[in-house]
Amino acid sequence: VLLGDYLFTHAFHLASTVDVTACALIGKATDRVCEGELCQTLNAGNLDLTEAEYFDIIDGKTAALTAVWGRLGAHYAGASAEVVEAMTRFGTLVGQAFQIADDLLD
């Protein structure tokens, strides 16, 4: 938990040296991760989750973080809006894949 807290606060520290856009996007992703973790805890052992509900939960975990990394990287590299969105989607899919594998290992 402390390592995760450190990574979040360090990300905010680094973002504060860039601009308000980075801080806002990281803040939104952090909010989403906390929501996803709470939803997962509330649904622990719930075998009646639909596929859509499961993906909503995992989108609020690792996928939210990897999506924001893709978005910020593309944005600050000067990519077009289309590429920024594509990298955001790619980050989401990578995060979903990671979370599915992690859940299966649990």
pLDDT tens readout for residues 40-90: 999 988 989 999 999 999 998 889 989 999 999 999 999 999 999 999 999
- Residues written for the chain: 106
* Maximum Cα–Cα distance across the chain: 45
Here the tokens at position 105 are 């290992």
Query: How far is it, in rounded angstroms, from Cα 56 to Cα 40?
Result: 10
Q: Does residue 1 register a pLDDT over 70?
A: no
Q: How far is CA 47 from the centre of its chain?
A: 24
